[in-house]
Amino acid sequence: MQPFPWFDAAIIVALILLNGVLAMSELAIVSSRRPRLRGLASSGSRGAAAALRLAADPAKFLSSAQIGITLVAIINGAFSGEQLADPVAQRLALWFGLAPPTAHDVGLGLVIVIITYVSLIIGELVPKQFALRSPEAIATAVGPAMELLTKVAAPFAWFLDKSSALVFRMLGQRRDANHVVTEEELRSVVAEAETAGIIEESERQMISGIMRLADRRVRGIMTPRGEIEWIDADMSDAQIRAQLAASPHTRLPVARGTVDDIIGVLQARDVVQALIEGRPLDLGALARPAPVLPDVIDAVDALAVLRDADIPIALVHDEYGHFEGIVTPADLLAAIAGEFRSDVDDASDPPAVERDDGSWLFSGALPADEMAERLGFDLPDDRDYETVAGFVLEHFRHLPETGEAFSLKRWKFEIADMDGRKVDKVLASPLRTV
């Protein structure tokens, strides 16, 4: 009986490990995040730069990697069967008394099963799990070697690339489809990051707020005209002093007689300077002009206007030129981070309250997209409303009364309270499935 070929077994193990390195490298480079690789490359990492070049031409790289993996698998299968089958068959015949032909067939099958099992574990599954855990680090480490392999296998890779392109054309498909991350996928990534403990709940809420802000129109975040505190330019000095002393704001719109006739915005520091210099309080002269925005522009565009304005308050008008409200940086920040305590009446209720039975009580003034996010459904992109009140009015098509209800998206929406003609509270209850 010939001795067991341990050296040949070591070669087979080495081929399995080489297969694992190729599989790990392939998945690491494909799944690496490009911004992180660019950051590493800009800091001088040659491996990251090589990985970026490989990722820029995935068809050529994947063809080269697959050539290496397939070649290693073929060599390993042929070599293991040739070198190990007979020694294993001899030992089976000796230990179990099998006939030589039977021992050879059983030995060959046993070698194939063991090599296949070890190849799957050591040559595929474990390396790929390593690649998914640290794709950028592994891609940086193997980048130069894989780039060299790609250059060596370039002629074969070219042939495979053209062949795969032909198959795609025969199927009527485009191989170079651009995979764009959708907003829903981005929200899922953020939610997974919160679940994994990578970001805090407050951070997730702010990220969601920023994404919502980009989808909102300015009329959805402005302070409506009915809630604006303004000052009359025709007031006496004593009245001006009393109102400024009682107001929590450092900037106030200045109007003549009615809020619809705003002439500018008054800053408290301008009033203080006028008092120090002993000048009369002429609000018309002290008021500064404010930019005017249409109510349909995006909130992000409003942010750009406020950033460049001399005074960070913009007047919002509708398409007919009617004054609708004002928007400030505080409104934009509140849309991202939530209302500040100093801006909310202590006696008022929270805008959204989840109850013990799983239902939600919403304020009619709450932005509709915040309500939809809490309830787990999407609103149409072409909607004409911005608040929960607008959402229910869109479905009722009339001024509802307390107790009226409708069902939508597995939820029952009921008018819980009306404040005159304004929808004040809406109760959303999950529908019971039978």
Residue 392 DSSP SS3: helix
In order, the DSSP letters of 274-296 are HHHTT----HHHHPBP--EEETT
Residue ranges for the chain with pLDDT beneath 70: 1-2, 4, 81, 174-185, 339-349, 433-434
**Phi and psi, residue 262, nearest 5°:** -80, 130
CB-based contact 106:99 (threshold 8 Å)? no
Beta-sheet pairing, 360-363 with 352-354: antiparallel
Q: Give, in degrees to the nearest 5, the angle at Cα 223 between 219 and 228.
A: 140
pLDDT in tens, 51-99: 888 888 777 777 788 888 888 888 877 777 677 777 777 777 777 777 7
CATH class entry, domain 352-430: alpha beta
Order of strands across the sheet that contains 422-430:
352-354, 360-363, 422-430, 411-419, 405-408
Q: How far apart, in Å, are the Cα atoms of 274 and each of 95, 271, 282, 283, 287? A: 109, 5, 9, 10, 12
Q: Is 339 left (phi over 0), alpha (psi -120 to 50) or beta?
A: beta
Sign of the dihedral defined by the CA atoms of residues 341, 345, 346, 349, in that order: negative
Tokens of 149: 């392999």
d(C-alpha 51, C-alpha 28), whole Å: 9
For 405, the enclosing helix (H) or strand (E) is strand 405-408
DSSP 122: I
Amino acid 360: pLDDT: 93
Look up the pTM and report it.
0.55
The residue among 111, 108, 107 whose CA lies nearest residue 119 is 111
The CATH-assigned architecture of domain 216-343 is: Roll (3.10)
DSSP structure class, residue 410: T
- 362 backbone dihedrals φ, ψ, rounded to 5°: -110, 145
